[in-house]
Structure 1
Amino acid sequence: MNEAAVAVELNLDGLVGPTHHYGGLAPGNIASQSHRYQVSYSKRAALEGLRKMRRLAELSIPQGVLPPHYRPDIDALRVFGLTGTDEEVLAQALQEHPDLLSSVSSASAMWTANAATVSPSADTQDGRVHFTPANLQSTPHRRLETQFTTTVLRTIFNNSQHFVIHDPLPATEEFSDEGAANHMRVSSEYGQRGLEVFVYGRSPELPQSQLPGKFPARQTRAACEAIARNHLLNPDWVSVVQQTPRAIDAGVFHNDVIAVANERSLFCHSAAFVQQSNLIDEWKSLLPGMRVIEVSEDRLSLEETVGTYLFNSQLVTLKTGEMLLLCPEECRKSESVMEVLDELRQDSALNLRIEFVDLRQSMQNGGGPACLRLRVVLTERELQAMSPSIRLTPELASTLEHWVNRHYRDELTLPDLADPKLLDEVQAALDELTGILNLGAIYSFQK
C-alpha cells in the first residue's frame, strides 16, 4: 500500500464544442435519440457548462478545462470515401450521408466522464497516477475521439515522474471501454488507498438471459480487468461488477446514470448492480466506514431515474467538510426525486448540501453534471506537476465566456454542419483557444 498523502479531487470538464447538435447517435441513450435533429443552441450549451465549472471553482473545488475536439472531422469523411474540396466533401455528406455528417460533427467529447479511467497514486503499485483513454468503440462517432483525447491528456499530464498515460485498449468488441462513466472509487479520504469499482454490462461467459435485450451493453468485463492490471492496482482492492441488464434496457447506458461515489459515500439506485446487497457487504468489509445511500425502486422507478438523471449529479467534498450534491434542474420536476432529496438534506449525519444547475442543452443530448467531468485525485505535488494553464480561475472563466460569445453560433441544425463558413469559424475559435489554454498546436489543422 502506498503511503497516504493529502490529496484533492480535480474535476476536468470538457468545453462544449461549437458543433454541439442533436444527432441521436447513441443507441440506448433515450434523451439523445428523442431529440434527434432538433434545433440545438451551441452557445447556450457552452455557457451552461462554464457556469457549472465556475460554481464549483467558487466553492474551492479544483476545476480544470479540456478543449473541444475539432469538428466537423473532414479527415474522417475522406477516410469514408468522400472526395473533393472541403466544401464539396461537406455538401456530399449532407446530401448522401447525413448520419455520417452528424457523426463526424458530434461534440460528444464534452462528456469527459468517458474520456478515460483514472487511478490515483494512492492505489497504484508504482505510486503514479494512471490514465487509460477510453476506446469508445461501441459507437462510431465517439470512436473518433480516442486519439485526440490521448494527445490532450499527454499534453496536460506530461510529467512521467507522476503520471502514466496508457495507450487505449484495442478497439475491439472484447475490450469495449467507456472510461470513468463505468468506474467508481470509494476511500476514507482522497489520499488514502481506495476501492476501485469497475462496472461492465457484458462478458462472453454470460448467457443471453443475463444480458440486456433492448439496448447494447457497452462496457466489457475484459476491458475492466485489463485496465485494473495496467494501472498496477492491488487485486484485493478491485471490484469488477455487472450492471443489471434491466437497468441498461431502461436507458442506463453507463453506470454513472444510476450510481455516484465520493470518498466514503456511495449514492445509488437499488437496481444498479447484479447481487447488489452481497457486493455492498463485501465493500463495507474492506472499508468499514463506507456509507451507502440506496434508493429503492418502489420510491424511484428506473424510468424516472433515467428521466431526471438524479444519480448523474456531481457528489463532491467541500472544504467545510460538507458534501455537495449538484443536481440537474430536471430533478426539481419530479415529486419522487424531491422527496428523496429532502430526506437526504434532513439527515444530519450526511452533512449534505444540495444545489441545482441548469444544463438543459447537455441533458437533452443525454449528459448531466457528472457526465461533463473527469475526476482526477491528485496530491499537491501532482497538482503542481500538471499543466497549470487549464486550471479554472475567475479570470479564465471570464475569458472563456467571452470566447464563446464571440465564436459560437446561437443555433445549429443538421444542414448548418455542411456550411463551409462553420468550418472556418471552428478553426478560428480553436486556434485562439489553444493560445488561451497554452496547449500549443494540438489540432490537425494547426500542423
Structure 2
Amino acid sequence: MQYCEANFDGLVGPTHNYAGLSFGNVASFSNANAVSNPKEAAKQGLQKMKALADMGMVQGVLAPQERPDVAMLRRLGFTGSDAKVLEQAAQQAREVFLACCSASSMWTANAATVSPSADTADGRVHFTPANLTNKFHRSLEPQVTGNILKATFANSRHFAHHTHLPDNDHFGDEGAANHTRLCSAYGHAGVEVFVYGRHAFRHDLPKPVKYPARQTFEACQAVARLHGLDDDSVVYVQQNPDVIDQGVFHNDVIAVGNQNVLFYHQLAFHNTQAVLDEIRRKFGDNPLHFIEVKSDEVGLTDAIKTYLFNTQLLTLPDGNMTIIAPTECQENSTVANYLAELTTRDTPIKSVNYFDVKQSMRNGGGPACLRLRVALTDNELAAVNPNTIMNDTLFSKLNSWVDKHYRDRLTEHDLRDPQLLIESRAALDELTQLLRLGSVYPFQQG
C-alpha cells in the first residue's frame, strides 16, 4: 500500500484584511490597519499551491470562511438588515466588528489536528477542528471548518471527524500549528508530537507571563484520545515559556518536523534534552535527524521576523527533502546563509525553494501556516473530494474565479460596505459549486 503526504492550503478569502487582531503575534500587530490586496493575496497562495503540485506533491485546496460574520454580529445584539448590522457594529463596537471580519482562516495549520490511519486504533484518518478559544476572531471558525473538512474528506469508511473540543480556555486547541508527526515513512506508524504552552489545571508549573499560552496540555491529551492514539506513539512537549513571551505564539514558528527530521531552534522547548530523549526512545532504531539551530547561528529575532521555522519541510518524489520558505528568509543574509549551508550537510534536506507570500506574512503567517498536512494511502486519496485537488484545470478555474470576484484593495472602511458582503457571498456560493462542497456556509443553509 502506497502512502503520500498531501498539503491542503487555505484559499485566501475575498475580504482579506489586516486588523492586527492577534495579541502575541508580532507581525500581525505591526501591520494593523494596513491596506490589503485580497486579489494579490489569493493569487500568491494559488501560485504556491500550483508550484508544489508541479513539484510532484499532492496539493489540495480548502475553502475560506464567510466574512464578515453577520450571524455572530446578530448573536451579539446588532439588528436590522445586513447593511444596518454592519454599520451599527462598525460604529458602536469597532474591535468586535473587526474580529468578525478576520481573514485568519487562510492559515489552515490552525484548522485541525490530523492523525493518519497508520497511527489510529480504527485505521481511519482522524480530524479534530481546532477550537481556537484564545482569540475571539478565530473562535468563530470551528463549525464551518468542520463542514469544509467533512465535504473534502467525506468517506466515513476512511475518514473520522470529531467535534472541536469544548469552547473553554482550559481546552484551548490550536490545531496542527502545535502538532507534528515523525515517522520513518508516511505509511509506517509514527510518533505524534503535541506541543503545549501551559497546564490548564496546574498553576504551579511554568507558563509565559507576557503573552498567552494558547495550547493546553489537557487539549493535547483530549485530541490524542479522540484519535485513538497509543500512548507509546505520543510525546507531549512544553514550548519554552520565554519564547512565547518573545512572540512565538505557535510551535510552528520555532520548529517543524517531517518524516525523520525535526528542525528546531535551540530555545524552542522547555527541557529540550528530555524531549529529544523521549522522541528518540519512542521512534525506535530507525535513523532520526535532530537539526538544532543555535542562537549564535540565527537569533530568535531573525527567526521570528523571517519565519525560518514557519517553512514547509517536504519530502519530494525523489526522496530528498526541501524547505519551502518565504522570500523574507532569502532577503535576510543571516538566515539565507544558514539555509544555504544547511543544504550541504549530511541530512535529508537538500534544497530550499523561496516563495513570495508577503500578503500572508504581513498578517502573521508564513508558508507552513497556510497548509494542513494529511498523510494518505492511495485508497484514502482516491476517496478525497477530487474537485479540491490542485491541477492545471483547477488552477485556471480558481484564478479566473479570483479575477471575477476579488477587489484589488481593501481598507477598514470597505469592510462595512454591504456590497462587499454581497460580493463575498456570491463568490463563496460559486466556489462551493466549483469545489463540489455542498452547502457549508450559514448563508447557504437558510
TM-score interval for Structure 1 and Structure 2 normalised by the shorter chain: over 0.9
| SS in structure 1 at match of 2:374 | strand
1:141 aligns with 2:134: no
- Cα distance 1:232–1:79, how it changes in 2: closer, same or farther (>3 A)? same
Whole-angstrom CA distance in 1 between matches of 2:210 and 2:349:
39
1:189 aligns with 2:173: no
Name the residue aligned to 2:353.
355
Name the residue aligned to 1:235.
231
| SS in structure 2 at match of 1:409 | coil
1:174-213 to 2 correspondences below 5 Å: 174-204=170-200, 207=203, 210-213=206-209
Name the residue aligned to 2:424.
426
CA contact (8 A) 1:344 1:350 kept: no
Whole-angstrom CA distance in 1 between matches of 2:176 and 2:149:
14
| SS in structure 2 at match of 1:374 | strand
> Deviations 1:187-245 (Å, cap 9, x if unpaired)?
00000000000000011465567211111000000000011111111101100110001
Name the residue aligned to 2:272.
276
1:36 aligns with 2:41: no
Letter in 2 for 1:136: L
Whole-angstrom CA distance in 2 between matches of 1:23 and 1:360:
16
Q: Which moved more, 1:192-201 or 1:397-406?
A: 397-406
CA contact (8 A) 2:343 2:351 kept: yes
> Deviations 1:159-199 (Å, cap 9, x if unpaired)?
11111101111011110000000001000000000000000
Letter in 1 for 2:385: S
Match of 1:373 among 371, 374, 377: 371
Letter in 2 for 1:293: I
CA contact (8 A) 1:313 1:369 kept: yes
Letter in 2 for 1:433: L
The number of residues matched between the two structures is 443
CA contact (8 A) 1:128 1:162 kept: yes
CA contact (8 A) 2:208 2:242 kept: yes
Shift of 1:334: 1.8
Runs of 4+ in 1 over 4 A off after TM superposition: 205-209
Q: Which moved more, 1:364-373 or 1:151-160?
A: 151-160
Name the residue aligned to 2:409.
411
CA contact (8 A) 1:309 1:328 kept: yes
Match of 1:313 among 311, 314, 323: 311
Name the residue aligned to 1:285.
281
| SS in structure 2 at match of 1:210 | coil
Whole-angstrom CA distance in 2 between matches of 1:312 and 1:328:
9
| SS in structure 1 at match of 2:375 | strand
Name the residue aligned to 2:246.
250
Identical positions, percent: 51
Whole-angstrom CA distance in 1 between matches of 2:200 and 2:440:
38
Shift of 1:351: 4.6
| SS in structure 2 at match of 1:84 | coil
Match of 1:221 among 213, 217, 222: 217
Q: Which moved more, 1:335-344 or 1:368-377?
A: 335-344
Shift of 1:138: 0.6
- Cα distance 1:107–1:351, how it changes in 2: closer, same or farther (>3 A)? closer
1:75 aligns with 2:74: no
Whole-angstrom CA distance in 2 between matches of 1:252 and 1:392:
31
> Deviations 1:396-433 (Å, cap 9, x if unpaired)?
01110111111100011111000011011101111111
CA contact (8 A) 2:200 2:218 kept: no
Name the residue aligned to 1:52.
48
1:153 aligns with 2:141: no
Q: Which moved more, 1:87-96 or 1:193-202?
A: 87-96
Match of 1:9 among 5, 9, 16: 5
Letter in 2 for 1:174: H
Whole-angstrom CA distance in 2 between matches of 1:238 and 1:349:
24
Q: What's the RMSD between the two structures over aligned residues? A: 1.2
| SS in structure 1 at match of 2:102 | coil
| SS in structure 1 at match of 2:419 | helix
Match of 1:302 among 286, 300, 303: 300
| SS in structure 1 at match of 2:90 | helix
Q: Please list every run of 5 or more consecutive structure 2 residues that lacks an aligned counterpart in the other structure.
A: none
Shift of 1:350: 2.8
Q: Structure 2 length as normaliser, TM-score?
A: 0.97
Shift of 1:285: 2.5
Whole-angstrom CA distance in 1 between matches of 2:17 and 2:349:
38
Match of 2:434 among 430, 433, 436: 436
Letter in 1 for 2:374: V
Letter in 1 for 2:80: G
- Cα distance 1:27–1:222, how it changes in 2: closer, same or farther (>3 A)? same
Whole-angstrom CA distance in 1 between matches of 2:271 and 2:349:
29
Letter in 2 for 1:327: A
Shift of 1:282: 2.2
